[in-house]
Structure 1
Amino acid sequence: MAMTLQNSSSLCTILLTLLFILTLVGAGDNRFSRPLSRVKHGLKKEKLSHLHFYFHDIVSGRSPTAIRVAQAPTTQNSSTGFGAVVMMDDPLTSGPELGSKLVGKAQGIYASASQTEIGFLMVLNFAFIEGEHNGSTLSVLGRNTVFSTVREMPIVGGSGLFRFARGYARAKTHKLDLNTGDAVVEYNVYVLHY
C-alpha cells in the first residue's frame, strides 16, 4: 500500500507535535533554577541561637595556630602591617584558658586591609566539634578593627545545623600579649538558622 503525500504530511505533523510535547515535558528536569518547598526540605521554623566561646590566636612559640603566609613588599614598613595575610587554625574553647574544653576551630585567613589602623579582613569558618553542633560550621566574612573594644562581623552562612544561617559575631579582646602578639578573643555569636 502506497503512502499518499497527505498521509505523509499528517504523520510528520503528528511526530513534530509529539516531539514538541516531549521537549516541553523534559525541559522541567533540566532547568537552571526552580522554586522549592521549604517544608519539604525540612525548613519549618527558623531558630535564633546564641553561641559563646573563646578564640585563641597563637602567633608565637613552637606551635603557632596562626602563621603569616604572604605579605606585600611594603608590609614591613607599614605601621599597620598592611598587606600581610595570615592563615589560621585557632582553637575555640568554652573558657578563656587554652586548656578549657575545646568546642571547635576557627579556620581561615585574616589579612591586614587598612593603611590607617590595624583592621583585618576576616574570612573564616567556625568549625564546631562539641555536642549537637559537632560537624556544623558558621562562616564569617567581615572587618575586624582589633583595637576597638567590641567588633561586629557578619555571619554569612553555615552548614549542618546552621544551614541557611545568617547573623553576627561580636568579638571582644579578653587578653592580648603585645610582646608576642598572642591573643584570646571572646566571641558572642547570634545566628538565625533552621
Structure 2
Amino acid sequence: MQNNNENNIIGGVPGFLVLDSAQFSSGTTLQKLMFGTMTVFNDELTKGHDLGSGLVGKAQGFYMASSEDGNSQTMAFTVMFTSGSYADSLNLFGVHRTAVAESHLAIMGGTGKYVNAKGFATVKTFPATNQHETNAVERLLQINVYLAY
C-alpha cells in the first residue's frame, strides 16, 4: 500500500485511487460515487433478446451516470444497421431514466437515407431472466424507433 496525497493506493498502481470506507463522508452511497462515471459501449443489435437472435447491426457510443441517485444516464450513441433495406445509421441522444418504465431519446439525424431523420426512440430496460439464453448479460434494452426521414 502506498500513500499518494493522503489517498491510499493498494498495490502501488499509479493513476488508480482506492479508498477505504473510513475515508467516505457520512451519507455517501454507491450511486453518489458513480455520479459522472462514463461507460463506453460497442454492442450488437439483434431482433430479439435470445442468443442466436438475428443480428441487425451495432450500437456504439457512451452513457454517463447523470444523477446522484443513480436513476438516470445521459446517452449518446450511433445505431448502425448492417443488413437489409435499413443499412445506414441513426444518431440518438437523451436521458435514460432507469426508475421509470419507459424513457425517450431524440433522433439527431443519421447517415445515408437517414441524413435528415427526425423522431424519437423509446427505451425500456429488462432484467435478463435467463442468463443462459443471454450469455450472462445482466440487463437488456429494448429500443423502438419512431422516425420521419
TM above 0.5, yes or no, is: yes
Matched with 2:53 is 100
State the structure with more CA Rg.
1
Matched with 2:62 is 109
**Partners of 1:78 and 1:115 within 8 A in 2:** no
What SS does the corresponding residue of 1:79 show, helix, strand or coil?
helix
Spell out, residue by residue over 1:74-96, the C-alpha distance to the aligned partner (whole angstroms, 9 max, x if none). 9x954252111101001110112
What SS does the corresponding residue of 2:64 show, helix, strand or coil?
strand
> Matched residues, percent identical?
30
2:125 maps to 1:173? yes
**Partners of 1:106 and 1:125 within 8 A in 2:** yes
**Partners of 1:155 and 1:166 within 8 A in 2:** yes
2:110 maps to 1:158? yes
Spell out, residue by residue over 1:128-185, the C-alpha distance to the aligned partner (whole angstroms, 9 max, x if none). 1120122x111011000123111111111111121101100001123347xx772111
2:80 maps to 1:127? yes
Report matched runs for 1:177-188 at 5 Å: 182-188=138-144
Matched with 1:192 is 148
| Cα distance, 1:89–1:161 mapped onto 2, change above 3 Å | same
| Cα distance, 1:181–1:132 mapped onto 2, change above 3 Å | closer
| Cα distance, 1:147–1:181 mapped onto 2, change above 3 Å | farther
Greater percentage in helix: 1
Q: Which runs of 5+ in 1 are unaligned?
A: 1-72
Higher relative contact order (CA 8 A, sep 6+): 1
Paired AA for residue 84 in structure 2: G
Paired AA for residue 174 in structure 1: F
TM-score by length of 2: 0.70
**Partners of 1:112 and 1:119 within 8 A in 2:** yes
Q: Tell me, in whole angstroms, the C-alpha distance in 1 between the residues paired with 2:126 and 2:30.
A: 26
Report matched runs for 1:15-26 at 5 Å: none
Aligned with 1:138 (options 63, 83, 90):
90
Matched with 1:87 is 40
Paired AA for residue 67 in structure 2: S
**Partners of 1:106 and 1:127 within 8 A in 2:** yes
Greater percentage in strand: 2
Q: How many residues align?
A: 118
TM-score by length of 1: 0.55
Aligned with 1:147 (options 89, 99, 107):
99
